[in-house]
Chains A and B, each alone.
Chain A
Amino acid sequence: MTANARANILSRLRATTIQGQGPFIVPDAPIIAGLELSLEERIGRLQRMLETMHAEVRVVSAGGWLEELKAMLRARTLNGLLYGPAAPFGPALEGAWEEDLPPLVPYIEPVEQCRERLFNIDAGITSARGAIAETGALILWPSAAEPRLISLTPGLHIAVLDAGMIFNTFAEAIDQQHWLRHRMPANALLISGPSKTADIELTLTFGVHGPKELVVFILS
């Protein structure tokens, strides 16, 4: 049945162009000049946009972020911090960990073996591959090193971003990070804040099915 469906659909679509209507001539609209901000402005704009969406943003030095992370976690009661040991910051995180912090929980087994744990852990930390200043969004490419659910099931998602990877626009990120030359990841994401909804009377509330909080460390 489906083999026929394919042929039938395609031939219907093709038949029409042949019947004297010809392909539509579609002029490309002029390219819109994108933002062109300096690094500092990009950081500022990203921070502002993310904060509007209720994310918490901390601009820190590359050397000092771990201490700040630890201070932040000490101030909370969390049952654990999920992370990928092969993440770029994995070894540094492990090296810096201390007894009085929520335990580090490495994500090293297939989800089938640890589903329960993933759905019950309070916090997760991932790297961000880049960010978009214009609209305010992080770019995540989950992988074997940093699986998808780290940024989804915990109530608190912490993301670590290198300020040099903040692009003006989404289009610029695609070009400059050469998304087309790479093999696209199984799942790529833009994330602009904690999960939210406005489905009841358009009242905006944060923390629906995804993380309730998003904390972004921008390393400059």
Chain B
Amino acid sequence: MTKTADAVIFERNAAKALDDGQLRRNLRSAMTTLSQRRRTLFADTEAFEQLRAQGESIRRRALSQLPALLEQLEGRCTANGIQVHWAETAAEANAICLDILRRHNARRVIKGKSMVSEEMHLNHFLEEQGIEALETDLGEYIIQLDGETPSHIIVPAIHKNKDQIARLFHERIPDAPYTEVVEELNAIARQELREKFRAGEAGISGVNFAVAETGTLCLVENEGNGRMCTTAPPVHIALMGLEKVVEKLRDVPPLLRLLTGSATGQPITTYFNMITSPRRLDELDGPQEVHLVILDNGRSSIYGDAERRATLQCIRCGACLNHCPIYTRLGGHAYGHVYPGPIGSILTPQLEGLDEAGVMASASTFCGACEEVCPVKIPFTEILRMLRNEAYAQGESEHDVKGHGYRYTTVEGLSWKSWALYNTRPGLARIGSQILGKLGQHLPMIGPLKEWTRTRTPPPFAPKSLHQLAQERGLDNDR
């Protein structure tokens, strides 16, 4: 069959990534370290399984009451003085941000790490409007300097090594000396960004958990840049996907532990920042305005299906990336979409449509490593299989994934139909296997066979079928 554009691009990217020795070395060492650290922290597997069960049930409980919790969150936030906005699409969310920034005359915006903002392509959008959006997380800062996008959802610059970063800083930061000492590279970034924090006119961040019960926005970070962005400027805009809400404050501790432990093997991050309101009347600092933008962008369509809903349990820890045999060899850029790795493979085709990003669902060996490490037990293999089926589901489909049926072709449809017929009629199968034994070597390579043999040598057919051999030995199962 002819390939879709995304499949062509993915294959090209994959080949390029596999050929890039430097990239593969960088990735291998980083991914091994991250997974080892995680293993060490969760060495007590029984305790970990208990914690994981809790994480899963907290996320599923939250999703089961999602619309009510979102309304509760909105109500509590509003009562606390946080202004809540809803956006159906990325474009709407961008427009909301722009409007807020314009009202504050903000031209220099400092940003904490936010995958939702990547999904919105917010930086690019703001730049077009003449607003500078500066990434302040060190990893994000590095890739922004190089005009790249994150290659990992937790450690966005992990594809680069220190020599590459040394050259980048030296070339792009005025007066930066060339140094490969990591501490010195950090110091250069600290100095560059300090002035930006002082002068930032607005701060933008993501949200790790939003607590409906109290109207509290929680942010997890190590560097302090997130605190800077949410504390120093006069206005703070927090961006969240609508699935990020949890019911109770008491739901936060287990999720926090699962998140930091799964992501980097840390028992806790340096900062856990809980924001419940803008600066109160008697207070001396903190933003005067806090805005929360709740983004849908396709999530509500995932929510509707019992099997697909589990996709929304994700807490974006990145563990599935670190353990994926495909991600750890290709890195994030090869996928060509914002969310790479196993979570990207199940999320992106559902958000953007199978016809746009269906190839991502095929970027899996079904080894199940992602499912084994996921702190909220997302059933990856089930969802991946469902997505692959949907890719061939013509007309009305069971799960109604956007763009379903894009891989359906008549030849393929016929092939599978005859396969089914063949295998449900013993007589047909017997005659068939005899013919195949004699003529199988000369089968025309069309449809699935063509696809399958593109990268594999077709095995020779045995002259006698298993059935015949069994009969000759006096075994007969047909009675």
Interface residues in chain A, defined as those with a beta carbon under 8 Å from any beta carbon in chain B: 1-2, 5-6, 8-10, 12-17, 19, 21, 23-30, 32, 49, 53, 107-112, 115-116, 119, 132, 134-137, 142-144, 147-149, 152, 169-171, 174-175, 179-180, 184-203, 205, 207-211
Contacts and interface: CB of A to CB of B under 8 A. Distances in A.
A211 B223 CA distance: 9
A171 B67 contact: no
9 contacts: A19-B304, A53-B270, A148-B285, A171-B250, A171-B253, A186-B278, A187-B276, A198-B222, A202-B158
A198 B161 CA distance: 12
A144 B280 CA distance: 8
B30 A10 contact: no
User: 4 closest pairs, A vs B, by CB?
Assistant: A210-B224, A16-B304, A199-B139, A195-B224
A119 to B, nearest CB: 5
Contact of A184 (B183, B231, B274): B274
Contact of A202 (B87, B155, B231, B268): B155
Given A171-B250, A174-B250, A186-B278, A136 B267 contact: yes
A152 B303 contact: no
Given A9-B300, A197-B186, A109 B276 contact: no
Interface stretch (B53-61, B421-429, B439-447): B53-61
B63 A143 contact: no
A1 B92 contact: yes
B215 to A, nearest CB: 8
A208 B47 contact: no
Given A19-B304, A194-B270, A209-B136, 18 more contacts: A2-B86, A10-B71, A12-B300, A13-B303, A16-B300, A28-B61, A29-B53, A29-B56, A135-B267, A137-B272, A147-B286, A149-B231, A152-B227, A171-B254, A184-B274, A188-B276, A195-B223, A210-B227
Interface residues of B, number: 103
Contacts of B215: 184
Given A148-B285, A195-B223, A209 B270 contact: no
B189 interface: yes
Contact of B225 (A26, A200, A208): A208
B85 interface: yes
A22 B319 CA distance: 31
B51 interface: yes
B273 A199 contact: no
Contact of A201 (B86, B156, B182, B194): B182
A190 B266 CA distance: 14
B137 A192 contact: no
Contacts of A28: 57, 61
Interface in B125-161: 136-139, 142, 155-158, 160-161
A148 B283 CA distance: 9
B70 interface: yes
Contact of B224 (A137, A185, A209): A209
Interface string B57-90: 1101101111100110000000010000111100
A208 B186 CA distance: 7
Nearest to B85: A2
B273 A32 contact: no
A71 B440 CA distance: 89
Given A108-B284, A110-B285, A144-B280, A195 B198 contact: no
A2 B269 contact: no
